[in-house]
Copies of this chain bind each other. A is one copy, B any other.
Amino acid sequence: MARSSNTQFAVAVHVLTYLAGAAAGRAASSDELSESANVNPVYVRRVLAPLREAGLVRSRSGAHGGWELAAGAEDVTLARVWRLLQGTDPVLGLHGPDPACPVGRDIQSALTALDHAVADAVATELGRFTVHDVLTGRVPAAEPRRGP
């Protein structure tokens, strides 16, 4: 019902982990990264673009070019990656308001406030982990999702 069909964060974490592990100390082409993440090379470059602008990774054109980490894997929190890719987009969904409904307007601002609070909560949770943690398996165990 509410499946987040956006894979950019997952691909970013995958690629960063790959760069920190299998490709440590050298440059990996977007072609190589795309095979690891099982996506398109162009998509890899699109996802990595904002991370490069933020200084998390470096890229070089030409032969023997490619991508490499521009920071230590321990210094890159997943929160940072998530914020970069999420931008200011809503985490929960927001519905179009009815300007004619006074009650509706209040609910709109409440939902917006809630969205920010939830975004902060997500960032806080993701801030507990780094790319290095993912590489070394230091992430919470995958327990079955508990029901409501």
Contact = CB atoms under 8 A, between A and B. Distances in A.
B36 A101 contact: yes
A78 B107 CA distance: 13
A96 B40 CA distance: 12
Given A78-B114, A113-B142, A114-B126, A85 B1 contact: yes
Interface in A62-106: 78-80, 82-98, 101, 103-104, 106
A143 B120 CA distance: 11
A104 to B, nearest CB: 6
A145 B114 contact: no
A5 interface: yes
Query: What is the interface residue range for chain A against chain B?
Result: 35 or more
B124 A38 contact: no
B14 A104 contact: yes
Contacts of A114: 13, 78, 126, 129, 139-140
B4 A104 contact: no
B94 A7 contact: yes
A16 to B, nearest CB: 10
